[in-house]
């Protein structure tokens, strides 16, 4: 069993113990210790019961966290930490929700410092394309963790809305060419989305509404048609607030 598979098994079946609350989180995310078959890791637990009510997103933001992990993997990227749905309510401290592997890295970096370093632009560009596909309504500059030479992107609860809500700080790659490899990965993802028998479509159908899934297909087609990253849209409010 590969390490990613072991981590997913740990997250799916492990026993949770709450260590503390993530103060910066607006939806009461919790740092937990999760243990399974002698292995223990830290993880971020986001239960539905503690979500803040929003006028434009239905309850169940944790489902979008899980969907974001599967989409990132499907388009050839692994910057979203392993994330699973936990539905075994009787074994959970605050009920159903998502559980994401905790990345112990450098939390002092932001998108802006990573961009200015010039060392992570290829990885950041992958995140930018991902955000177009998932319609990320809240990509702040602080949503990045650095571990070694790799970046991880977190906080995807405000993605996948059926209406255009893209708000992101990553607008520095306008007119950058999208590689054929990335376009092929997006195309392969699109094929899985439109194939009723694909496992990925079944997974996403359990996490997103029918209208959200249809909108995801439409956006994926649009991104696949692009040769270059688009300019900042003039008819939208393209930046989140606060930007960090």
User: Would you say residue 158 lies in a domain?
Assistant: yes
Residues 77 and 148 in one domain: no
Encode pLDDT of 188-224 as tens digits. Answer: 999 999 999 999 999 999 999 999 999 999 999 999 9
User: Would you say residue 239 lies in a domain?
Assistant: no
Surface-to-core class of residue 72, CB atoms within 10 Å of its CB (0-12 exposed, 13-18 middle, 19+ buried): buried
Instruction: Identify the domain boundary among 82, 101, 120.
Output: 101
Query: Which bin fits 135, alpha (ψ -120 to 50), beta or left (φ > 0)?
Result: left
- Sheet (strand 15-21) strand order: 15-21, 30-36, 39-47, 97-101, 83-86
Q: What domain range includes position 72?
A: 3-101
Q: How many CB atoms lie within 10 A of CB 64?
A: 24
Residues 219 and 125 in one domain: yes
User: Would you say residue 231 lies in a domain?
Assistant: no
Q: Is 13 helix (H, G, I), strand (E, B) or coil?
A: helix
What average pLDDT does the structure give for the chain?
94
User: Would you say residue 106 lies in a domain?
Assistant: no
Q: Is 19 helix (H, G, I), strand (E, B) or coil?
A: strand
Query: What's the predicted TM-score (pTM) here?
Result: 0.95
CB-based contacts of 19, cutoff 8 Å, min separation 6: 30, 31, 32, 33, 42
Instruction: Identify the domain boundary among 57, 74, 101.
Output: 101
With tokens 């740990």, the residue in question is 10
pLDDT at 2: 53
User: Would you say residue 29 lies in a domain?
Assistant: yes
Higher pLDDT, 24 or 133: 133
User: Would you say residue 238 lies in a domain?
Assistant: no
Query: Which 8-state DSSP code applies to residue 99?
Result: E
Encode pLDDT of 16-47 as tens digits. Answer: 999 998 876 666 799 999 999 999 999 999 99
Residues 219 and 116 in one domain: yes
pLDDT at 233: 85
pLDDT (average), residues 162-173: 96
3-state secondary structure labels for all residues of 113-173: HHHHHCCCHHHHHHHHHHHHHHCCCCECCCCEEEECCEEEECCCCCCCCCCCCCCECCCCC
Centroid of chain to Cα 70: 8
pLDDT at 5 over 90: no
Residues 117 and 197 in one domain: yes
CB-based contacts of 38, cutoff 8 Å, min separation 6: none
Alpha helices in the chain, H assignment, sequence order: 3-13, 61-74, 111-117, 121-134, 180-194, 199-207, 210-224
Instruction: Identify the domain boundary among 101, 132, 148.
Output: 101
């Amino acid at each position: 069993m590969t390490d990613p598979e072991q981590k997913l098994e740990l997250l799916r079946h492990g026993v949770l113990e709450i260590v503390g609350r993530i103060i910066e989180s607006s939806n009461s995310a919790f740092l937990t210790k999760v243990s399974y078959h002698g292995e223990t890791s830290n993880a971020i637990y986001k239960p539905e019961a503690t979500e803040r009510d929003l006028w434009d997103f239905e309850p169940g933001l944790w489902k979008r966290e899980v969907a974001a992990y599967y989409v990132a993997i499907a388009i050839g990227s692994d910057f979203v930490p392993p994330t699973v749905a936990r539905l075994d309510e009787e074994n959970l401290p605050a009920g159903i929700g998502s559980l994401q592997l905790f990345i112990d890295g450098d939390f002092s970096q932001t998108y802006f410092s990573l961009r200015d370093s010039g060392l992570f632009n290829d990885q950041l560009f992958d995140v930018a394309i991902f955000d177009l596909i998932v319609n990320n309504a809240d990509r702040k500059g602080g949503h990045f963790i650095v571990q070694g030479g790799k970046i991880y992107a977190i906080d995807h609860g405000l993605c996948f809305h059926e209406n255009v809500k893209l708000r992101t700080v990553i607008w520095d790659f306008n007119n950058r060419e999208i590689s054929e490899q990335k376009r092929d990965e997006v195309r392969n993802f699109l094929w899985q989305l439109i194939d009723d028998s694909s496992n990925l479509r079944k997974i996403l159908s359990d996490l997103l509404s029918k209208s959200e899934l249809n909108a995801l297909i439409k956006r994926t087609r649009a991104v696949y048609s692009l040769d270059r990253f688009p300019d900042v849209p003039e008819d939208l409010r393209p930046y989140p607030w606060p930007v960090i």
